[in-house]
């Protein structure tokens, strides 16, 4: 294996690991959103409050979820995107 082939392989492997982490973050964030929507039994204001709390707790732990933070931020800035306060 040449040096260039090895560098290409390492770069590709790093890219795949980053992609895997990004996908896992999104899936975990979606799972949290779906769980809270189910737990709230249609009370979207309660679901959104729980989601804000979960996003804050993850940030405090040093494990922020980019998907969850973006979801909550989008809801706060434009309620017409999905969840709305009832």
Residue boundaries of the structural domains of the chain: 3-81
Q: Tell me what pLDDT residue 86 has.
A: 42
* ∠ Cα 62 66 68 (to 5°): 100
The structure tokens listed for 12 are: 């590709």
pLDDT one-digit tens code per residue, 37-77: 899 887 888 889 899 999 999 889 988 888 888 888 888 77
Q: Tell me what pLDDT residue 71 has.
A: 87
CA nearest neighbour of 48 among 17, 79, 16, 7: 79
Model confidence at 84, pLDDT cuts 50, 70, 90, reads low
pTM metric for this prediction: 0.66
């Amino acid at each position: 294996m040449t040096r260039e082939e090895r560098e290409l392989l390492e770069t590709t492997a790093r890219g795949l690991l980053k992609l895997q982490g990004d996908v896992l973050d999104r899936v975990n964030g979606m799972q949290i959103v779906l769980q809270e929507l189910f737990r709230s039994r249609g009370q979207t204001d309660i679901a959104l409050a729980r989601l804000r709390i979960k996003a804050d707790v993850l940030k405090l732990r040093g494990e922020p979820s980019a998907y969850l933070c973006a979801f909550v931020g989008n809801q706060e800035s434009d309620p017409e995107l999905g969840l709305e306060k009832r």
